[in-house]
């Protein structure tokens, strides 16, 4: 068993250093961070490659095989997945330097990426290198650490490119990534989310049409922008019908001990809202299609009545569904009218089976650290690099799990892409202990 104090110190030092690399994407510039990680892993005995479509945007693939080729081929390939690019940060809005990696008196490490997701990368690496330094090797199978670039911009230079262009190098049977692990309390009981699936998207434009004219004579034209107003009001006040998939059903089963149907959701959601409105805000988007208008266009000149107006809608769709369900739910909300829908881009979300050795390991670990807590499958409203691995390797089980207890999900989730991003050292250490448990549990 690893020394918890040493594991915590290693994870803390790694995270502080990773935060100090400014990898805001764009432009990314992940190379310096990746070379730093490469040195840490090679020193621990890993075989490390840097693979890049663009030289300053490399991806890292590190391998720790079993002691013999025969043993390596007998077991699974387990990949610890993470990314080192981040979103931007405005130092003027922060209480600390976003790239300082400062450990403050509150017991937290502050900086961009502390939650998303340099913290998890640091915990994964700390667990892997400390196991390797202690002499551990897989009894059967192979351990990989895959650290990608460009996740925050969609992964075209990172996970997507790796899975499409170098599938043999990154193929994995089991993937542990971001997208779960946050703890919440409901009616006195603690739950840890396990990110088993991710929603897709079907983004579209709502387009209304009119007739151009001079803005000084409002009734001489037909204002397409005014036709948009009632449609926006419907988006603000109406909710699409629900479309439960396996993960929200599992959550409702855990919370209420019922096998919920779509028709049950309004009543169950009302009960959640009454008990804890914060939980309702986070769970409701996982119960079906969401429609969020985000961008608008109309006239190119202030003195011209627009003949056409459009509103861009970010539509998220339950895993396994695509444009057909998105359009059906959009028209259900918008109703009949003088408008058209133009679907411009879409991607179908995916998921992994709930029954797996990885889920067994998570359940066992949760029971060990908090016997009263429950690990439950969940679906992410957005998506991560896991989707590329599930697409490329259909038998792969990819979960998001980065456990935290000092900060619950109501504290940690708003920090992702937010101001004053930080993570408690205690939670960083907790996650490193989970990874140091899961790796030998899965590989012997």
pLDDT of residue 67: 79
- Mean pLDDT to the nearest integer, 334-357: 96
- Mean pLDDT to the nearest integer, 384-401: 97
Closest CA to 86 of 29, 126, 146, 38: 29
Distance between CA atoms of residues 211 and 114, nearest Å? 51
Residue listed under structure tokens 């663009």: 54
pLDDT of residue 153: 94
Q: Do domains 4-186+353-443 and 198-347 have the same CATH topology?
A: no
Query: Can you read off the two tokens belonging to residue 420?
Result: 């004053």
* pTM listed for this prediction: 0.94
Strands 308-317 and 183-186: unpaired
pLDDT of residue 70: 75
Three-state secondary-structure class, residue 12: helix
* Angle formed at CA 99 by CA 48 and CA 407, multiple of 5 degrees: 90
Report residue 303 CA to chain centroid gap.
44
pLDDT digits (tens, 9 = 90+) for 286-330: 999 999 999 999 999 999 999 999 999 999 999 999 999 999 999
Q: How confident is the model at residue 3 (pLDDT cuts 50, 70, 90)?
A: very high
The architecture CATH gives domain 198-347: 2-Layer Sandwich (3.30)
pLDDT digits (tens, 9 = 90+) for 149-159: 999 999 999 99
What one-character DSSP code corresponds to residue 240? P
Closest CA to 8 of 430, 407, 439: 430
Q: Which fold is adopted by the domain 4-186+353-443?
A: Aminopeptidase (3.40.630)
Spans of all domains in the chain: 4-186+353-443, 198-347
Report residue 168 CA to chain centroid gap.
24
Strand partners, 110: 102, 422
Q: How many CB atoms lie within 10 A of CB 189?
A: 12
pLDDT above 90 (res 183):
yes
Q: Report CA dihedral (129, 133, 139, 142) to the nearest 10 degrees.
A: 30
DSSP 290-313: EEEEEEEE--SSTTEE-SEEEEEE
Percentage above 90 pLDDT, the chain: 96
pLDDT above 80 (res 240):
yes
pLDDT above 80 (res 217):
yes
Three-state secondary-structure class, residue 178: coil
Distance between CA atoms of residues 181 and 221, nearest Å? 55
- Mean pLDDT to the nearest integer, 2-27: 97
pLDDT digits (tens, 9 = 90+) for 45-100: 999 999 999 999 999 999 998 878 777 778 999 999 999 999 999 999 999 999 99
Start-to-end CA distance of the chain, whole Å, equals 13
pLDDT digits (tens, 9 = 90+) for 352-366: 999 999 999 999 999
- With contact defined as beta carbons under 8 Å apart, do 291 and 329 qualify? yes
Report residue 444 CA to chain centroid gap.
28
Residue listed under structure tokens 């036709």: 227
Q: How confident is the model at residue 254 (pLDDT cuts 50, 70, 90)?
A: very high
pLDDT above 90 (res 207):
yes
pLDDT of residue 1: 75
Distance between CA atoms of residues 273 and 345, nearest Å? 33
pLDDT of residue 331: 98
**Mean of the per-residue pLDDT values for the chain?**
96
């Amino acid at each position: 068993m690893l020394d918890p104090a040493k594991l915590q110190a290693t994870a803390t030092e790694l995270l502080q250093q990773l935060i100090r690399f400014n990898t805001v994407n764009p432009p990314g510039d992940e190379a310096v961070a990746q070379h730093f990680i490469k040195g840490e892993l090679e020193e621990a005995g890993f075989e490390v490659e840097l693979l890049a479509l663009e030289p300053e945007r490399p991806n890292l693939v590190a391998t720790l095989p079993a002691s013999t080729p025969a043993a390596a081929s007998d077991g699974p390939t387990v990949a610890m997945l993470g990314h080192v690019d981040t979103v931007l940060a405005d130092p003027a809005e922060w209480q600390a330097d976003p790239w300082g990696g400062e450990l403050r008196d509150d017991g937290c490490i502050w900086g961009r990426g502390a939650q998303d997701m340099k913290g998890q990368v640091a915990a994964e690496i700390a667990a892997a290198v400390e196991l390797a330094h202690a002499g551990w090797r897989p009894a059967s199978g192979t351990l990989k650490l895959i650290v990608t670039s460009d996740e925050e911009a969609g992964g075209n230079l990172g996970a997507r490119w790796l899975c499409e262009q170098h599938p043999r190098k990154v193929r994995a049977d089991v993937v542990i990534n971001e997208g779960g692990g946050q703890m919440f309390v409901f009616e006195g009981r603690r739950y840890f989310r396990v990110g088993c699936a991710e929603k897709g998207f079907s983004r579209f434009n709502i387009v209304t049409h009119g007739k151009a004219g001079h803005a000084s004579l409002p009734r001489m034209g037909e204002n397409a922008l005014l036709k948009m107003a009632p449609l926006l009001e419907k988006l603000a006040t109406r909710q699409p019908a629900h479309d439960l998939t396996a993960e929200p059903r599992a959550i409702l089963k855990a919370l209420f001990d019922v096998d919920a149907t779509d028709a049950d959701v309004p009543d169950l959601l009302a009960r959640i809202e009454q008990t804890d409105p914060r939980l309702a805000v986070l769970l409701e988007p996982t119960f079906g299609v969401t429609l969020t208008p985000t961008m608008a266009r109309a006239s190119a000149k202030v003195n011209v009545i627009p003949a056409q107006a459009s509103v861009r809608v970010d539509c998220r769709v339950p895993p396994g569904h695509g444009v057909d369900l998105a359009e059906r739910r959009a028209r259900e909300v918008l109703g009949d009218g003088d408008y058209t829908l133009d679907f411009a881009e879409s991607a179908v979300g995916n998921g992994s089976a709930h029954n797996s050795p990885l889920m067994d390991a998570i359940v066992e670990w949760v029971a060990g650290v908090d016997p009263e807590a429950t690990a439950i499958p969940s679906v992410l409203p957005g998506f991560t690099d896991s989707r590329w691995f599930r697409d490329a390797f259909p038998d792969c089980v990819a979960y998001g799990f980065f456990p935290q207890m000092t900060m619950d999900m109501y504290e940690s989730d708003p920090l992702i892409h937010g101001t004053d991003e930080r993570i408690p050292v205690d939670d960083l250490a907790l996650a490193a202990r989970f990874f140091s448990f899961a790796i030998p549990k899965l590989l012997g």
